[in-house]
Chains A and B, each alone.
Chain A
Amino acid sequence: MSLRTEEMTLNMGPQHPSTHGVLRFVIKADGEVMREAIPDVGYLHRSIEKIAEKVGYHGFMPYTDRVDYVCAMFTNQGWGMACERLGGIEVPKRGEYCRVIAAEFNRIASHLLSVGTMGMDIGAMTPFTHAIREREMINDLIEELCGARLTFNYMRIGGVAWDLPPGWREKALAYLDHFDPIWEEYNALISYNKIYVERLANVGVINLQDAIDYNLVGPNLRGCGFKWDIRKDIPYSVYPEFDFEVPVGTGEFGTLGDAMDRYMVRIREMRESSKILRQALKQIPDGPVLAKVPRNFKPKAGECQVRVESARGDMGWYVVSDGSAYPWRVHVRTGSFAAMGMINKLSRGLMIADLVTLIASLDVIAPEIDR
């Protein structure tokens, strides 16, 4: 007797608990093995780029939070830097330090969420609660800094809105003292857990050439073993003043560039962020935090590109000014958009259950894809 198999078309999402936002896939599968998964995005499209053309330079800052609400500090910073470059504004040193401190805390928070949901997506609920516990403390710290826990609107064109509140520095250092040993807990709980490693190792292997061809950025690119970090390689802000490492994938558990490598890069980056934070909190100079920027900010006609290393990698801002108080065109190129473009290729031959692992390991955030 010969068994007959046939292709089956499945729908996954948009309201699926493990798709990290509103994402939809049309999966063509043969039994448990996928022939391909076609991503269908756009469910979270809020035309943020178009809004920018209507609200002006200062007014757009709160909207940038919504581009990527898991690491909103970086979108704030990208927009701020683009406007400063167009207008030729110098940010005061203390302002830059405040930016770096806020952004690196945000990076830890974002990676914690990624690590936590990674566990949850493959069926381990406990790591999520552990990760969220530490993330809550960062949210509390940032709330004290700017009044918000998710959509920060902390930065302004020319610096940051508020200086560090009294006593905040000590609280931040106390948190880091608490966080560094806790970091080992994640490794003990999940990173070196046999079941966890089995689910992640050798899944969704990306080779470096494809990664560059598809424009993968950030931890996804570094997971392929390529040492590339905008903070080091195209330095901006005050990052050259800090001493930190750029962790890369090593293939220690399976193949170079698999899901486990991307996960380990994130785990290790948290420790590097903690290192940067300690130096920044120690070295922060006195002075103003916000440059004098006219309320009616009208940069000269022209265009500029800015690249920021967000938690999801190189975020590229392209801003065109026509000399008026409203930007002519704003475009954000985000890491998740590129990563989603690659999923169709990566999904071929993968098990359906591993698709969830793949999405989680690429750390895709839906609002960042759709903007």
Chain B
Amino acid sequence: MDALRTYDRVMQRFGDRILEINEKAHDPFMVVEPGAIVEVCRFLRDDPECAMNCLSNEIGVDYKDRIEVVYELYSYPKRYGVTLKVKLPRDNPVVATVETVWKSANWMEREIFDLIGVTFEGHSDLRRILMPEDWPGHPQRKDFVEPMEYHGISTVRESPIIRLEAGKK
């Protein structure tokens, strides 16, 4: 089995719930309808031909017109990996959690929720992980503007280079 044959296999099974298969990318990927992601993941994990027993990476990417969640799966028994994607609307990105399929999704989804602002439905512990609880907005969004201060602590400082150059005059 390799990634492309796996995509064909999933395509046969799920049909039009698979939106796109990109074979030309550096790492070929498959775009899945957001509502079908848990089913596809569970199929890939339980199917003995694929046996994707590890979710090795889960990433959120903000593309300005949409938000993508990328799932990098890996099969230790079969020694190959596949990449899945879901495309979500930017104003209200919601997708079901895959924590029920692989435990490692728990923290990675918390990170995506924190930095990109994707809500994972059914997640057991969806809290911010890296930023403080009361931080406004999601920093990895492209339109995020850093607040000037946080609890009275300034987030900017005068550039020491500007100060040096002012001293010269």
List residues of chain A with CB under 8 Å of any chain B CB.
41-42, 45, 47, 49-50, 85-86, 210, 212-215, 226, 228, 233, 302-305, 314, 316, 318, 320, 328-329, 331, 333, 337-338, 340-342, 345, 370-371
Contacts and interface: CB of A to CB of B under 8 A. Distances in A.
30 contacts: A41-B130, A42-B128, A42-B129, A45-B131, A49-B140, A50-B139, A210-B103, A212-B54, A213-B102, A213-B103, A215-B54, A215-B55, A215-B102, A226-B76, A302-B25, A302-B26, A303-B25, A304-B26, A304-B27, A305-B72, A318-B70, A318-B72, A328-B61, A333-B56, A333-B59, A333-B108, A338-B107, A340-B107, A341-B103, A342-B103
Contacts, number: 80
Interface of B: 25-27, 53-57, 59, 61-63, 70, 72, 76, 79, 83, 102-104, 106-108, 128-132, 139-140
Given A214-B104, A305-B72, A316-B57, A41 B62 contact: no
A329 B61 contact: yes
Nearest to A341: B107
Nearest to A338: B104
A46 B62 CA distance: 19
Given A41-B130, A318-B57, A337-B108, 13 more contacts: A47-B139, A212-B54, A212-B76, A213-B102, A214-B104, A233-B79, A303-B27, A316-B72, A318-B59, A331-B59, A333-B108, A341-B103, A341-B107
B107 A337 contact: yes
Contacts of A41: 129-130
Contacts of A233: 79
Secondary structure of the B side of the interface?
loop
B26 A85 contact: yes
Contacts of B83: 305
Contacts of B53: 212-213
A226 B107 CA distance: 23
Contacts of B62: 329
A163 to B, nearest CB: 30
Contacts of A49: 140
Contact of B56 (A50, A215, A303, A340): A215
Contacts of A338: 104, 107
